[in-house]
Chains A and B, each alone.
Chain A
Amino acid sequence: MDSIAIVGVAQTKYERRKKDKTYYDLVYEVTRDALEDAGLSLDDIDNVITVSNDFLDGRTISSMAVGEAAGGYHKNVSTVEGDGAFGAFYGAMRVLGGFKTTLVVAHSKGSEGDMRYVTNGMFDPVYQRLLGLEAVSSSALQANAYMEKHGVTEEDFARVSVKNHGNAKNNPYAQLPMDLTVADVMQSKRIADPIKFLDCSPVSDGAAAIIIASEEYAGKARTKPAWIKGVAHCADAYFIGDRDLADPKSLRDAAQRAYGMAGIREPLEEIDIVELYDAFSYMEPLWLEGMGFCDPGQGGKMIDKGITTMQGSLPVNPSGGVLSAHAVLVAGLARIIEAVLQIRGDAGPRQVEGVRTALAHGINGPCGQSHCVWILAGNM
């Protein structure tokens, strides 16, 4: 693969409700800030990808409504309906395909719609939607299947929530920095067993943008490039009943392909930090298993051993993760942005020392149907 890099990043602070910003305002703000971060102007951007979801925005062809805010006027604008990590994947493809620079921008305002209805809409209308399934209840089935298969406990999940909300205290963009105890999580309101209130990510508003550049153009930016060493995605079956919900095999496949591209043989030794899509606390250990950082069923022990804490050998979600801010679709791009900031050494009080290689991850579809894995590095 040709050398390409992320040379500009920007995100809004994530909040429960941004009453002072429209979608358009959010996209404009992060586009402008990403250009400023990179030290590039709109003339340097030769194509734009917007990431949005029509159900979330409450309008069809929602992506085209923000084209100008994304600097796309009279430019090549195209669209990804899915998580931002997948939008960025498409952006990387475009740079590999000959564009010099791609700006990828994602936005969402969970506050303006109703996430229960929006996520109910992802299920098959004939067989599943009318049962009332949505994101929380389907994920609860996955959490239950995971506990059943491997003996993972609700306390294991609670420790993830405690860690990630604690990490968020060092992230000025996070929505929910919190000092929690395992008891706080365990005693929080039961929503859909085994998922409790503090196992859930919040409803959030926010936007994020990145600029991906060819090797030639990366030198024009003022930032230290975060080189894209490997990136892959893979999808499992659509119907959740068709899958082994406790075995994220599409993640395993995506991770192995990304590692192969990046020349990574021992992920636990070669990767310095992980930013993964923890929409619910149980997802962190399950996804760590899929990424090959431990054997199946051992994900819960990663945190017990202190491996995934800020002081551990593999800090996971130093940003606070999706549990601490979940602007849907934006969240995968936020994982990539945190990985870039960590590689640059720009992560402020949450900076992990000596980050050379970082993994960022996004999901799409119910219960992590599809996974996208990114390997970014400071050295070309």
Chain B
Amino acid sequence: MTRWLDDVEALTLKGQIAVPYTWWVGETGSRFLIALRDEKKILGNRCEGCGTVYVPPRKNCGQCFTDIDEWVELAGEGVVTAHTIIRFQYPVQPVQPPFAYAVIKLDGADVGLVHIIKENLDQLKNGVRVRAQFREDRTGHILDIDSFRVI
């Protein structure tokens, strides 16, 4: 019935959905991002119920279903617990491949922060220590931490 389509290029319509959003980062998120911007500090917070120190900080603990009120200043350093070297490219990536994503357990935190490692990829393995590198022009954004560097 549709055999004739085998011999032709299908007629298509090109489009792109670009909807502007202005996401409120939240009360807890504001404090985290402002600390990155103004103090070059990474803040976490601790659940009173289970003791978990979260980063990024959360307003509530998903496990305990309670509010979290206790802020914790984390070291800008930690340990890589998982990593991958990225070898493909698409425009959302903030850097050119090859670069790495890593799950980083910051000193003082109980969960991992996912971020970027750009340099010395040959030294990257799980267990290595890394340190946050802050940008000069910080705007209150997760990429105010430019990347983590192997130390």
Q: Which of A137, A142, A143 contacts B86 (CB 8 A)?
A: A137
Q: Tell me, yes or no, whether B31 is within 8 Å of chain A by CB.
A: no
Binary contact readout B45-87 vs A (1 if CB under 8 angstroms, 0 otherwise): 0000000001110000011000000000000000001111111
Q: Tell me, yes or no, whether B141 is within 8 Å of chain A by CB.
A: yes
Binary contact readout A167-203 vs B (1 if CB under 8 angstroms, 0 otherwise): 0000000000000000000000111111100000000
Does B82 lie within 8 Å of A144, measured CB to CB? yes
Residues of A98-120 contacting chain B, CB below 8 A? 114, 116-117, 120
Q: Tell me, yes or no, whether A141 is within 8 Å of chain B by CB.
A: yes
Q: Tell me, yes or no, whether A237 is within 8 Å of chain B by CB.
A: yes
Does A58 lie within 8 Å of B17, measured CB to CB? yes
Q: Tell me, yes or no, whether A49 is within 8 Å of chain B by CB.
A: no
Q: Tell me, yes or no, whether B108 is within 8 Å of chain A by CB.
A: no
Nearest chain-A residue to B126 (Cβ)? A148
Q: How far is the CA of A148 from the CA of B112 in the complex (A)?
A: 16
Q: How far is the CA of A193 from the CA of B112 in the complex (A)?
A: 19
Does A126 lie within 8 Å of B29, measured CB to CB? yes
Q: Tell me, yes or no, whether B123 is within 8 Å of chain A by CB.
A: no
Nearest chain-B residue to A126 (Cβ)? B25
Q: How far is the CA of A278 from the CA of B116 in the complex (A)?
A: 27
Scoring A20, A58, A120 by chain B CB atoms within 10 A of each residue's CB, the highest score goes to A20
Does A126 lie within 8 Å of B114, measured CB to CB? no
Q: Which of A20, A136, A241 contacts B2 (CB 8 A)?
A: A20
Does B86 lie within 8 Å of A116, measured CB to CB? no
Nearest chain-A residue to B6 (Cβ)? A20
Does A241 lie within 8 Å of B103, measured CB to CB? yes
Minimum CB–CB distance for A201 against chain B, Å: 15
Q: How far is the CA of A192 from the CA of B114 in the complex (A)?
A: 15
List the B side residues contacting A131 at CB < 8 Å. 94, 101, 114-116, 142-143
Does B94 lie within 8 Å of A136, measured CB to CB? no
Nearest chain-B residue to A58 (Cβ)? B17
Q: Tell me, yes or no, whether B20 is within 8 Å of chain A by CB.
A: no
List the A side residues contacting B56 at CB < 8 Å. 126-127, 239
Residues of B101-151 contacting chain A, CB below 8 A? 101-103, 111-116, 126, 141-143
Given A131-B115, A140-B84, A245-B82, CB of A117 within 8 Å of CB of B92: yes
Minimum CB–CB distance for A62 against chain B, Å: 12
Q: Tell me, yes or no, whether A61 is within 8 Å of chain B by CB.
A: no
Minimum CB–CB distance for B139 against chain A, Å: 12
Minimum CB–CB distance for A364 against chain B, Å: 17
Write 12 A-B pairs (CB below 8 A) sorted by A numbering: A58-B17, A130-B94, A133-B114, A134-B90, A141-B114, A148-B126, A189-B87, A191-B87, A193-B87, A240-B103, A242-B62, A242-B112
